[in-house]
Each structure stands twice: as structure tokens, then as C-alpha cells.
Amino acid sequence: MKLLVLGGTAWLGHEVARQAVGRGHQVTCVTRGLSGPIPDGASHIQSDRDADHGLEAVSAVHWDAVLDVSRQPGHVKRAVRDLRSADYYVFVSSVSVYANHGPLGQDEDAPLLPPLESEVMETMETYGEAKAACEKAVLEGLGAERCMIARVGLIGGPGDIFGRTGYWPMRFANPSVEDGTVLVPNAPSLPVQVIDVRDLAAWLVQNCEGQLSGVYNATGEKHSFAEHIAAAREVAGHQGQLAVADAEWLHRHGVQEWAGPKSLPLWLSDPEWQGMNARSNMRAKGAGLVLRPLEETLRDTLEWEESTGIEKPRRAGLTKNEEAELIPELG
Ligand SMILES: NC(=O)c1ccc[n+]([C@@H]2O[C@H](COP(=O)([O-])OP(=O)(O)OC[C@H]3O[C@@H](n4cnc5c(N)ncnc54)[C@H](OP(=O)(O)O)[C@@H]3O)[C@@H](O)[C@H]2O)c1
């Protein structure tokens, strides 16, 4: 298969290109070359998709499949225009396209945000609207039969530079205080859904091979926060106590939710957001998505965290000092 990856230097795009090369496909990646190297065995075309003719170098080639990870409606509209002769197009979207994140278990027919009208997403505030506009451009421009939309949920696994899925196993393996206590939010029944980057990439490559069409939630298995924490403790061999803090206490002490500095990753306290990580993945599983056990993802992510240095600056979680200051205050 001749596969064009629009991306390939960042996390998921790189893994897709890597696996596709491993399966003997001829892979070409188009990027600016700013986010990292492409995998060995793939070809790289350096180009900026912000330019109107950014895909000129690849538009005359016949592609068996195209896979696009962009979030910019202009990129996707121009790709649909310039790659019209491709047999098949996968657009990597996000569950952020949905209008409501409160209800649990929603499937692909749930209402969407209005598509962004602008060609350029200026800030992440309109990420969901931008992805909705990208989806619309692909479906309307190419026709539903020869494209696939993968609405991806939280991605985890080795290489998670966002630090959301690495934090918990890393922290349980490396507690901030001597007696091994770890600070956790009091949110045992909060849903958590992590899809391993390797499982997601394998399914996307498989779909390019089989040209599966349709719209799919590509999300991990649903677990409760308590189960997620138990799995992280198990892979880390954690024997210490949990210091369980209520949302009100954490907010008062400046601890953020979900991600970012001074945060407890994956924690969400607002019931209006609890369904974001509890989407139905039945359709994708029925179409061949195979998910490995959460423990395996967390074990391999811990190994990656340790191999890249646990003292590295993090994009999610508490630093050792922050946690060591908070735990005694909780009492
Ligand atoms: N992480 C999550 O938990 C999560 C959740 C839901 C959905 N998603 C979706 O999953 C996908 C993740 O993809 P990814 O990990 O490969 O990361 P990404 O950060 O979305 O990758 C963007 C890719 O596009 C390239 N690019 C960006 N601007 C460009 C431009 N102007 N011209 C040409 N190339 C450009 C980048 O390469 P250069 O910088 O080298 O140009 C990079 O390879 C995205 O579609 C994301 O929206 C992620």
C-alpha cells in the first residue's frame, strides 16, 4: 500500500507511520519537520500546510490511503481538494467534537459542536469546533464511502509527552514522601478511558489496508478512577498509603484538574465533563479495534517514564516538592 501520512513527526502520526513501515507499506510523511524525526523506512517531504499549495509535491501521486492528524480546517479542506484521487482517507478527529460531555456511554450519534467557520483554529478553546469542521470537509468533500473518521479519546502509553498517563505509575513508583504516601483525589467512580497509542495506530493502519469507512469513537475501555489508580499502584508495586483529598480541599490548595502544572492528572470534578471519558467504543471494537489491558499500558508507560528520567519537566502532575508540601497539610 502507498500510504501518505499528513503528520508523522509527533506521537500518534509517528506510531502509525512506524507500524505501517513494519507491515511492509510504502510510507510518505508530510510535515514541516519541527516536531521530531519520522520513523526509519518512511520518506519525508518537508512542507508547510499553512501555504495554499503545501501539498503540491504529493498531489500528483496516486495514494492508496491518506491519514491526516491535523486540527486546522484549512489544512484539511486543501488536502481534500488536492488529494481527491486518493482511494481512501482517514481523518484522526477527537471526542472533543461532541457538544455534551455530561452523559455517560454516548455513541457516535450524539450531537456535535457547530463546525468552526474559520480556516484557522487560533486557540485550543475552539479545538472541538475545528475538528468538527475538519470532519465535515472530509465527509462532504470525499463522500462517506471512502473515508473514515476516528474520534479519538485520551491517548496513553509509552511516549506520552503530555504526562497524563505516565504520572500515576511514575508517582506510585517514586513517592514524594519517605513513608510512600501518595496524594489522590476523592473521585473513585469518575470514568477514565485511555486508548494505548500502539492499539490505536494498529487499528488505523489495519483500516487503511481494509479501507473501512464510517465514523467511530476510538476510545479505550472504561474504568473507574479507583480501578485506574489500583492498576497504576499494582504495576508500580506501591505499598504505601493513599492521602485522599476532596475536590474543595484540592481547589483551595491550587491543585488543577486533568493536566498541566500542579495538577492531579485525569481527575475531573465537574459532572458536566464526566462523560468525556465514558464514550461507547462498541462500534470500533465491532470493526476490529483490539485494546490491550490497562495494566500493560501503564507498565510500559512507567518504563518509558523511567527511561526518559523521572525528574524531567512534566506537562501534567505535581512535582515532588509540591506533593511533599501538600501531604502533611492534608493531615
Ligand atoms: N493526545 C490525545 O490524548 C488526543 C486525544 C484526542 C485526539 N487526539 C488527536 O490525535 C492526533 C495526534 O496526532 P500526533 O500525536 O501525531 O500529534 P499532533 O501534535 O497533532 O501532530 C501534528 C502533526 O502535524 C504536523 N504539522 C503541524 N502543523 C503543520 C503544518 N503547518 N504543515 C505541515 N505539517 C504540520 C506536525 O509536524 P511538524 O511540527 O514537524 O510540522 C505533526 O507531525 C491529533 O489528530 C489529535 O488531535 C489526541
* Mutation pick for ligand 1 pocket among 4, 6, 11, 12 (CB with most ligand atoms within 8 Å): 12
Partners of 270 in beta bridges: none
Going from the Cα of 169 to the center of ligand 1, the distance in angstroms, rounded, reads: 25
Quote the CA–CA distance of 323 and 122 in Å, as a whole number: 34
Contact yes or no for 265/258 (Cβ under 8 A): yes
Pocket test of ligand 1: the residue of 56, 82, 92 to mutate, having most ligand atoms within 8 Å of its CB, is 92
Q: How far is the CA of 207 from the centre of ligand 1 (A)?
A: 19
Residues of the chain with pLDDT under 50: none
Domains delineated in the chain: 2-152 (3.40.50.720), 158-193+223-272+292-330 (3.90.25)
Up-side HSE of residue 315: CA atoms within 13 Å toward CB?
9
How many angstroms separate the alpha carbon of residue 192 from the centre of ligand 1? Answer: 23
Ligand 1 mean position, distance from CA 66 (Å): 14
Task: Indicate whether residue 39 lines ligand 1 (CB < 6 A).
Answer: no
215 lines ligand 1 (CB under 6 A): no
Tell whether the torsion through CA atoms of 84, 26, 215 and 151 is positive or negative: negative
**Amino acid 163: pLDDT:** 96
Q: Which of 91, 150, 162, 164 is nearest to 279 (CA)?
A: 150
Residues 6 or more apart from 17 whose CB is under 8 A from it?
3, 5, 8, 27, 29, 38, 39, 42
Distances (CA, A) of 47 to 18, 29, 56: 20, 10, 9
As given in the structure block, the three cell numbers for residue 31 are 510535515
> Which helix (H) or strand (E) covers residue 148, if one does?
strand 147-152
The span from the CA of 27 to the CA of 42, in Å, is 5
CA distance 232 to 16: 26
Q: What is the pLDDT of residues 63-85, one digit of tens each?
A: 999 999 999 999 999 999 999 99
At 331 the pLDDT is 80
Our answer on whether the CB atom of 10 is closer than 6 Å to any ligand 1 atom is: yes
**Ligand 1 pocket member 136 (CB < 6 A):** no
**Residue closest by Cα to atom 7 of ligand 1:** 94
φ, ψ at 57 (rounded to 5°) = -65, -15
Distance from C-alpha of 201 to C-alpha of 3, rounded to nearest angstrom? 13
pLDDT digits (tens, 9 = 90+) for 15-24: 999 999 999 9
- Placement of cell 476532596 in the chain: 246
Q: Write down the mean pLDDT value for the chain.
A: 98
Q: Would you state the pLDDT for residue 175?
A: 98
Cα–Cα distance, 253 to 111 (Å, whole number):
36
